[in-house]
Structure 1
Amino acid sequence: MAGLRIAILFKHRQSGRWMLPQVEELRRRGHYVVVVLPPGPGPLPTELTRRGFEVVESPFDFRFRPGPATLRDLWRLRRLLRDLRLDIVKYHLYAPALAARFASVGLRLGRVHMVVGPLFLESRVIRTVERWLWRADDVIICGTEYTSGQYAALGVPPSRRPATTPGIDTAHFSRRHYAAQQRQAARQRSGVKPGHPAEPEPAGPTSAELRAAIRTELGLAQETFLVVMVAYVYAPKRLTYNGRGIKGHDVLLPAWQAFQARHPRAHLLLIGAGFSPVGETHRRELIRRFGVDTDPSVTWLESVTEVRPYYNAADLSVSPSLSEGHGAPVEAGAMGLPSIVSDAGGLPEVVDPASGWVVPAGEVAPLEAALAAAYREFEAGELARRGEAARDRMVKFFDHGPAAETIADIVERTAAGVRTR
């Protein structure tokens, strides 16, 4: 089935690169894809434009505020969707889902809701509303089996809630690929062309040398047990988890203090600033509450341009979230890191007994015990085997190539069903 007209609705301009393989696969199959984003610059519209996709500014900013302006802008969004003459509207995140459902009422097109993170379903209020609103979707592509189960509890039949991960580029997130890119960069800096007969090509750094360099940059001894957590800091939300931050920083930091007191040759690297101004306020409160700024065993980097160097330098990844899709452990695992994850959301789907540990969400003592177990394997030289198993698991189950094909198949089946109505 070629020649479908598909609009993707998304509310962020700064993030969302994970959707790029999906739109590329739809285009590869001969479909026209337009991406509808809020007005303004950002990395996502820039990258989409560079790749030759049409980006259209949404007349609705995906924020629902009481008043006539909301109704006016939803009507404008409806006119946009109608004028694009669409076969499919595909929406990500809950606010675009609500907007697309309301704005497309009465339009003859297919509605594909893709759910990557399950947080909104963990709000009792939203879950009650969603028990009825899901019927506006022709299909809900659930990014995790956990999310599919949540929709099953709301009465969604299996055929309308397939589970498939968005996936990641497991070739990009690999130690070998990262080291190869750094060697290529070294050749470019040297000015020596590959295969030049007069001058030997510079060897460039190996993965082990890159690992050592980052540890030196962080001021760490090479034998230090380095644990990394990659996550933005989200402000506590009133409707979920009793006002606690969902990424579990407030669980990890006390667990780390207890663990590190008995294992002084260990260091925690946190990567991620506040996702918003209120998220940054919450991060600074965490730093104050747990004395992070005076703890030499903890380094907190607000942002980095590239996470692979830090995964390459680390021994273990930790994700103690209260709510999560598949999250950072997929990238960490592809880079050959074992993970400790909480049992929240889709995280247990990422880790198996050979590649990491699963602990109860929100509990400090089990997380501390898992850190100690990982440390014992690190000391015995056995932890790297878990990293190899993690890498194999990510390539087998979480690569974005097969995932994009599966998602494109679902979109095409949905369009075929709409045409036969």
Structure 2
Amino acid sequence: MKVLQLVKTSIGAAWALRQMRELAKLGVEVHVAMPVDGPLIEEYKASGVIVHPIKYSLVHIIDSCKQLCQIVKTVNPDIIHSHFVLTTIIMRIALCSDKRPRIFQVPGPLHLESFLFRKIDLWTAQKNDIWVGSCSWTNECYASNGIPREKIFLSYYGGDIVYKKSSVHGKIRKELNLPNNAILIGMVAYMYAPKYYLGQTRGLKGHEDFIDAITIVSEKYPNVYGVCIGGPWGKAKRYGHKVREYAKHKTNHVYFLGTRTDIPDLYADLFCVVHPSHSENLGGAGESLALGVPTIATKVGGFPDIVIDKVTGLLVPPKNPDFLAQTIIECIESKYDLLELANKGENLVRNMLDVKNTASSIREIYNKILS
């Protein structure tokens, strides 16, 4: 079986790399068409993936289409597998007369939440298009918009469950010079600036909501501190500065640790972790659950697939700092058995999101499509 994957970046999207690496181990001949200016290129090659250089651009779409057509002619794949909206649109335009099956594995629901971008996805599709949602919300959205169920599959983007619970304790408290009785509420996420063309006024990950919630909680419990782990993503440095300034004007109970590599040590210091995203697939919830940390997430996108309310974690409505603050207070006041929630969450995701299992499900989807 020969599959051509379409990826728009060789800088990020390591989840696509992990999936392709495992598919190659399963005997799939994996090719990828992607820009070759990023640090992940050598990792793709080392994983047995054959790399074909291309530049994806809507501004220079004719050139992008020509490049893709040449790659398809050279590779002659059984299936074409796209991972982004941009690569999918270019694939459909460039290969409008090509009848082989092509997959759009949807990495997140953001474009489906916009009427215009959702319609572009649906309007450009043809009979040989198939969708693989990476959360249940995505699949239900496609089905409710008229896509037949037999053309929709579900497969999560898996990860390497390499993090082990750390035996280090007190690292954050020592670094920030906080007392031993400090209750640390964590948010582990890169800072993504608002997409104003989608009507967003706050960051995609909900940093401002987190700051507002910690402000409320710390007024009742002065020993509560919020800890933001993760710096600005890409060109969002200006937004990152704006978030820090916002926190400075709201409270002195929120700290920023920036991008770190000692994540397990930091998680070990947290009372619970919050994922207040406005739009999300599974986000960082898989990571916090895998490390057995009590998890609160917004009820958006794929979060409910793994943060099952009052079973593996707690769900709150998005863009609602007051509700989030009250939920944190209830956790502090022992309304929930956080240890039990964390244990159940860990047991769920360590199997469900293991990349070996998720890649195997993709190969099964390939077999179903080709048969």
Equivalent residue letter for 2:360: E
Query: Structure 2 length normalisation: TM-score?
Result: 0.93
2:131 matches 1:131: no
Is the alpha carbon distance of 1:133 and 1:73 closer, same or farther for their aligned partners in structure 2, counting shifts above 3 Å?
A: closer
Q: Of 322, 339, 358, which aligns to 2:315?
A: 358
State the 1:20 CA deviation: 3.4
Q: Give the 5 Å matches for 1:156-167.
A: 156-167=147-158
| Mapping 1:84-99, distance limit 5 Å | 84-99=75-90
Assess if the C-alpha contact under 8 Å between 2:214 and 2:253 holds in 1: no
1:172-206 Cα deviation digits (max 9, x unpaired): 1331xxx5xxxxxxxxxxxxxxxxxxxxxxxxxxx
Gaps of 5+ in 1: 180-206
Deviating more after overlay: 393-402 vs 98-107: 393-402
The aligned residue for residue 303 of structure 1 is: 259
8 Å CA contact 1:112, 1:411 repeated in 2 = no
Residue 225 of structure 2 is matched in structure 1 by 267
Name the SS of the counterpart of 2:169 in structure 1. Answer: helix
1:331 aligned residue: 287
Measured in 2, the distance between the counterparts of 1:264 and 1:47 equals: 47
**Conserved in 2, the CA contact under 8 Å of 1:174 and 1:336?**
no
Q: Are the structure 2 counterparts of residues 7 and 236 from structure 1 closer, same or farther at C-alpha, using a change threshold of 3 Å?
A: same
Q: Which protein has the larger Cα radius of gyration, Structure 1 or Structure 2?
A: 1
In the alignment, does 2:273 pair up with 1:317?
yes
1:223 counterpart residue number: 181
CA–CA separation in structure 1 for the residues paired with 2:262 and 2:95:
39
- Alignment match, 2:57: 63
Where does residue 142 of structure 2 map in the other structure?
151
Deviations 1:218-247 (A, max 9, x none): 433343222211112222113324443221
Maintained 8 Å contact 1:122/1:240: no
Q: CA deviation at 1:136?
A: 5.6
User: Residues 291 and 375 (structure 1 numbering): CA distance in 2 closer, same or farther, change over 3 Å?
Assistant: same
1:334-349 correspondence runs (5 A): 334-349=290-305
Q: Give the Cα–Cα distance (whole angstroms) in 1 for the partners of residues 201 and 252 of structure 2.
A: 29
Summarize the Cα distance change of 1:398–1:359 in structure 2 as closer, same or farther, 3 Å threshold: same
CA pair 136-314 structure 1, distance change in 2 beyond 3 A = farther
CA distance in 2, matches of 1:137, 1:268: 48
Pairwise CA RMSD: 2.1
Distance 1:10 1:335, change over 3 A: same
Q: Do the aligned partners of 1:336 and 1:390 also contact (CA within 8 Å) in 2?
A: yes
Whole-Å separation in 1 of the counterparts to 2:260 and 2:269:
14
In 2 relative to 1, CA 46–261 (structure 1 residues): closer, same or farther, beyond 3 Å?
Answer: farther
Gaps of 5+ in 2: none
Letter in 1 for 2:211: L
The aligned counterpart of 1:28 is 25
Q: 3-state DSSP class of the match of 1:100? A: helix
Say how many residue pairs are matched: 370
Q: Secondary structure of the equivalent of 2:8?
A: coil
Distance 1:232 1:137, change over 3 A: farther
TM-score, normalised with respect to structure 1: 0.82
Q: Distance in 1 between matches of 2:356 and 2:344?
A: 20
Partner of 1:196: none
AA in 2 matched with 1:35 = V
1:239 aligns with 2:197: yes
Structure with bigger helix share is: 1
2:367 aligns with one of 412, 416, 420? 412
Percent identity over paired residues: 25
Offset at 1:368? Answer: 0.6
